[in-house]
Amino acid sequence: MKGGTVTVRDTPTGWNSEPAGAEPRGRPRGRPRSEAVEQAILEGVLRLLEGGGTLSSLTVEGIAKAAGVGKATIYRRWPGKEALLLDALATLDNDPLPETGSGSVRDDLVRLIEFVRQRGVSKRESELLRLVTSEVMCHPDLSQQYHDRFIAPRREALRQVLVRGIDSGELRDDIDLELLGDLFAGPMLMRTVLHQWAALPEDLPERIVDAVLDGVRKK
C-alpha cells in the first residue's frame, strides 16, 4: 500500500476517469499503449471466469499468463484486481437499456426485468456478476463505483417508468417510490444473484410484474 514508482499515466477504461480537461492534451511522448493488450487482458479475465473458479483462483499472475502479458502491464492500467473486474464486467454489460415510455407501464416493467433476467441466463455474465458482487460487497470504495456505474442507471430507468405509472394513474401513489422499485426488482435480483441454482424461465418477468401489480390476495 506504500507509494511506488509505477506511474499510471492514464486509464482508458475509466476506473479513475480524470474529470477535468485531461483528454485534449497532446498525445503522450513515448510508445503508446497497445489496445490489443488491453482487450487480451479483459478477454483473459472472462476466459478464466468461464471455468467457474472461485474468486481466489482468479489471480493476477494467472490473468497475465492467460493474456500472455506481464504483470506490470496489468498494474500499469488498473490499481488492482477489483478495478479490473469492474472493467471486465463493463465489457459484457454494454447493452443499452431497453426503450421505455412507448407503450403501457406494465410492458415497460416487464422489459426492464427481462433485461435483468438476460444477465442471469448467460453463463459468462452470470459467473462474472457473481464474483464481482461478492468482491464488491467487501470493498466499500468499489461498492460506490459499482453502484454508480451499474446499479444507478438501472434504478433510474426503473424509477422513471414508475413515476410515469404514478402520473398516468396506473400505479398507486401512496407507496414509496423506492419500495415500489424493490417490489419489482427484488424477486428477480434475488434469483440471479443470491441463489444461482434457481431457474429463470422466460415468462418470469411477466409473472413477477403481474403478481406485484394485481396483488397476491385472493379476491
Residue type for position 148: D
What distance in Å separates the CA atoms of residue 175 and residue 171, rounded to the nearest whole number?
Answer: 9
Site for a copy of itself in 172-191 (CB under 8 A): 172-173, 175-176, 178-180, 182-183, 185-191
Cell 513515448 belongs to 30
Buried b (16+ CB within 10 A) or exposed e, 107-139: ebbbbbbbbbbebbeeeebbbbbbbbbebbeee
Candidate segments 16-24, 49-57, 68-76, 115-123, binder of a copy of itself by CB under 8 A: 49-57
Site for DNA in 26-85 (CB under 7 A): 26-34, 37-38, 56-62, 68-73, 75-77, 80-81
Question: Which residue's CB is nearer to a copy of itself, number 202 or number 214?
Answer: 214
If one asks whether residue 16 binds DNA (CB under 7 A), the answer comes out as no
| CA nearest to 47, candidates 140, 105, 128, 101 | 128
- Which of the listed partners (DNA, a copy of itself, none) does 24 bind, with a CB threshold of 5 to 8 Å by partner kind? none
Within 8 A by CB and 6+ apart from 204, the residues are 113, 117, 188, 191
Where do contacts with a copy of itself occur on this chain (CB under 8 A)?
Answer: 52, 54-56, 130-131, 133-135, 137-140, 147, 151, 169-173, 175-176, 178-180, 182-183, 185-191, 193-195, 198, 204, 207-208, 211-218
